[in-house]
Amino acid sequence: MITKNVKCPVCKNIITIQGNPGEKTPIICPNCNTRGEFLFPEEKLGFQKAAGPSSIEISGLVKHFKEVKAVDNISFSVKTGEIFGLLGPNGAGKTTTIKAILDLIHMNSGNVKINGFDIKKEGIEARASVGYLPERVAFYDNLTPLQTMNFFCELWGVDKSVAKPLIKEVGLEDAIDRKVGTFSKGMVQLLGVAQVMIGNPPVYILDEPMAGLDARWVKIIREKIKMLNKQGATILFSSHILSEVENICDRVAIINKGKLIAEDTVTNLNKYLRIKPRLEITIPGLNGRIPEVIKTIGGVEVANAKGDTLFVTCEPTVKSQIITALQNSGLKIDNIKTIEPSLEDAFVKIIESGA
Amino acid sequence: MVGFNFKSMYTIAKKEFMDNIRSKWIIAISIIFIILTVVSSYVAGGQGEFGGMEETVVSLLSISALLIPLIAIMLGFSTIAGEAEKGALYVVLSYPVRRVEVLLGKFLGLGAVLAVTPLIGFGLGGVIIAATVGAEEGVAYLAFIGLTILLGIMYLSLVIFISALCKTRVRAIAGGIVLFFWAMIYGLVLMSIYIATGGSYEDFFSGSLLDLPDWFWASIVFSPNDTNQMAVMQAFDLKQAFGFQIEAPDWLSMSFLLAVQMMWVLIPLFLAYFFFRRRDI
C-alpha cells in the first residue's frame, strides 16, 4: 500500500490517498468536489531484471561436510517471475542448497547463476540482485530497527529514507526506538522481512520466512510475497508448511537426503504420482459399515467408514459410479465432499517411496 | 583498489563502533581507567600527593597489560564465530559486499572502540595529573596511551583470527582465554627456562637482570605484551619495572619494537582473512 499526497488542480487543496502500484483510485476533492483519478505508478525493480528466462540456475551442485554429502548433484532453475518452492524434511539439504546458491557456503562442485551472474565469478553483481531472508535471522542487539535498517540501506547503497516505510510496512513502527535485543523471535523475523525488501531486488530467496510467526503475520508475509511477485520479482521460497507452499508457489522442488527427487507444478506432481482424490460421503445410519457395493467398483483404492461417514479413495472417473451404486443399493446420501490430493500427499508419498 | 569497496568497509566499521559504544560496559571501562590512573598516580606519589607521569605509568603498566588484552578479547571473540552462529553474518554476507571488506570493517570498528576507551580513560586521568603535578614527560605519557591502544589492536587482531578459525562461539571464547593466559604466563615461562638453563638465581631474586642472554631478549618478540611493555619502557627510558632492574640490548630499539608490534597486527589479520574467506557460514 502506497500513501501519496496529490494537489487538487482546481483549489490546490492537498489530498492524501492510498493505493497499490498499478491501481487507479478515484479522488473527490473535499474542498471543491472536483472529481478525478490517480494512477499509482508500477514499482520498478531496483536492479536490472534477468534477460534470460531463468533468474536462478543451479547445475550439478555438490556440497560435502566431511564424509556427509549434504547436497548431491542438484540441478534446477527458477523461472523469471515465478514463485518456486523448496520442500524437504528436516536435514534434507534445503538450507545448505540456499546457502550454496548465495556462496555463504562453498560448494565442492557445480554452478550457480543469479540473474545471469555467476555467483563465484561475479559474486557482487549476483548478490546485488538478491534479497535473502535466512532461516535463523538475527541482527545486532544494541541497535534499534531503524538503525539496523539504516545500516543495511547504507550497505546496499540505497537511500536511508526507505527504512522507515519498510519498518511500518511490516508493522514494527511501535517498536522503532526499541533495541532489537528486546525483540521477540517473531519481531526479529519481521525485521528480516523488512530488510529483505531493501533495494527492491528482482530475486528473493526466503528460507522458512513464516517460521515462528503467528497467523496474523503469516498472512501479511504471504500477501507481501504475492505482491512482490506481482511486481515481477522471482521468489525462491523454502518451507516446511506444505499448505503455504501449495498456496503460494507456481512450481515445487522436493529435496530428500541431499538429492532432488521431484521438480514440477503441484498439479503435475499429483498427476505424476497418481495420488487419487478422497470422497467423504455422509450416509445416515451407516454406523461404521462399509457397503458391499463399494468393493465391487473398479478404481476404488481404499474404502473405510467411521460413524455415518464413508471415506473412499478412488480414481476421479469413478466418482459418479460410486454415488449411483450407493443410491441404487438403497442408501440415502446426505452430503458428498471431495478432498483433492494436496502437496502434503505428494510430499509424503515421495518421501515414503525413498526416492 | 580494484575490487575493494571502501564505503562498505566504512559502513561496517561504523556499525561495529556504534553497536559497541552504546554498550554500557564500554563507558564503565573508560571510567575505571580514569579512576585507575588517578589512584595509581596517588599511590605512586606517596605521602598524600600525586605522582608524576612516569611514576603513574610504571604503576599502570601491569594493570593495562592485564585489562587491555581482556577487553580486546571480550570485544572480538564473537566477531565471526559468534555472528555466524547467531545468524547476523548470513544477512551481511548476502549483501553485495566482499568478505575482506566485512573483516576489515569489523577490525577497524572494534579497533576504534579499543582506541576510545584508553584515550578517554588514561587521557582524562593524564589531564588530572597534569593539572595537579604538571605535564612533565607528557609526550612519553601520550606515547604510553598510543602503545596501550596498539596493545589492544594486537590482541584484537589475534582474537579475530581465533574467531575466524573457530566454528563456534564457545570455542572462540575458549581460544581467547587460552591466548590471555598464555600472554600472562609467557614471562614466567621465559624466566623458568632462563633459570633452568643456568641463569643466575641470585640475579633473579635480587631483582637485577642486567646480564640476560640474547635469546631471552629475542624471545620477547613472541609476546605482544612483553614487546609492548618494552616499548613503553623505551618511551620513558625506564631501567626498572616490575621490581627488576633491566638493561635491554641496543638492537631492541623503539622502531624495532614498533615493527614487531605491527607484525602482530598484520599477520593474525591476514590469517583471519585466509580462514574467513574459506569458511562456510
Which chain B residues contact residue A139 at CB under 8 A? 88, 91
Residue A350 pLDDT greater than 80, yes or no: no
What does the pLDDT average to over B266-276?
Answer: 97
Nearest Cβ partner for A106 among B23, B90, B278: B278
Q: Which helix (H) or strand (E) segment is A220 a member of?
A: helix A215-230
Residue B204 pLDDT greater than 80, yes or no: no
Q: How many Cβ atoms sit within 10 Å of the Cβ of residue A208? A: 22
Rounded distance between C-alpha atoms, residue B215 and residue B190, angstroms: 10
* B205 pLDDT tier (thresholds 50, 70, 90): low
Nearest to A351 by CA among A241, A255, A248, A242: A255
- pLDDT, tens only, A70-126: 999 999 999 999 999 998 888 889 999 999 999 999 999 999 999 999 999 999 999
Contact with chain B for residue A183, Cβ under 8 A:
no
Q: Which of A68, A140, A148 to mutate to test the interface with B (most CBs of B within 10 A)?
A: A140
Percent of all residues in chain B with a pLDDT value above 90, rounded to a whole number: 46
Contact B280 A104 (CB under 8 A): yes
Contact with chain A for residue B278, Cβ under 8 A:
yes
Percent of all residues in chain A with a pLDDT value above 90, rounded to a whole number: 38
Contact A156 B23 (CB under 8 A): no
CB-based burial of residue B22 (10 Å sphere; 0-12 exposed, 13-18 middle, 19+ buried)? middle
Contact B94 A139 (CB under 8 A): no
Q: Which of B4, B91, B98, B113 to mutate to test the interface with A (most CBs of A within 10 A)?
A: B91
Q: How many CB pairs under 8 A join A and B?
A: 74
> Average per-residue pLDDT in chain B?
87
Cell numbers at A276, concatenated: 487419487
The amino acid occupying position A308 is D
Contact with chain A for residue B15, Cβ under 8 A:
yes
The question of ipTM being above 0.90 is answered as no
B122 to chain A, minimum CA–CA distance in Å? 26
B38 with B134: CB under 8 angstroms? no
Please report the beta strands in A162-294, taking only residues with DSSP state E, as ranges in sequence order. Answer: 203-207, 234-238, 251-256, 259-264, 278-282
Contact B94 A125 (CB under 8 A): no
Higher-confidence residue of B137 and B109: namely B109
SS3 A328: helix
Rounded distance between C-alpha atoms, residue A242 and residue A251, angstroms: 13
Which chain A residues contact residue B15 at CB under 8 A? 140, 143, 151
What does the pLDDT average to over B225-243?
Answer: 80
- pLDDT, tens only, B211-232: 778 888 889 899 999 899 889 8
Contact B18 A106 (CB under 8 A): no
HEC string of chain B equals CCCCCHHHHHHHHHHHHHHHHCCHHHHHHHHHHHHHHHHHHHHHHCCCCCCCHHHHHHHHHHHHHHHHHHHHHHHHCCCCHHHHHHCHHHHHHCCCCCHHHHHHHHHHHHHHHHHHHHHHHHHHHHHHHHHHHCCCCHHHHHHHHHHHHHHHHHHHHHHHHHHHHCCCHHHHHHHHHHHHHHHHHHHHHHHHHHHHCCCCHHHHHHCEECCCCHHHHHHHHHCHHHHHHHHHHHHHCCCEECCEEECCCCCCCHHHHHHHHHHHHHHHHHHHHHHHHHCCC
Phi, psi of A19, deg, nearest 5: -175, 175
pLDDT, position B240? 66
B263 to chain A, minimum CA–CA distance in Å? 30
Nearest to B150 by CA among B38, B231, B62: B231
pLDDT, position A44? 45
What does the pLDDT average to over A222-233?
Answer: 89
Rounded distance between C-alpha atoms, residue A191 and residue A205, angstroms: 16
pLDDT, position A48? 45
Which chain B residues contact residue A125 at CB under 8 A? 96
Is beta strand A335-339 parallel, antiparallel or unpaired with respect to A278-282?
antiparallel
Q: What angle do CA A52, A56, A62 make, to 5 degrees?
A: 135
pLDDT, position B51? 77
Nearest Cβ partner for A136 among B20, B23, B87: B87
Nearest Cβ partner for A127 among B88, B94, B278: B94
* A345 pLDDT tier (thresholds 50, 70, 90): confident
Rounded distance between C-alpha atoms, residue A234 and residue A230, angstroms: 9
Contact B90 A147 (CB under 8 A): no
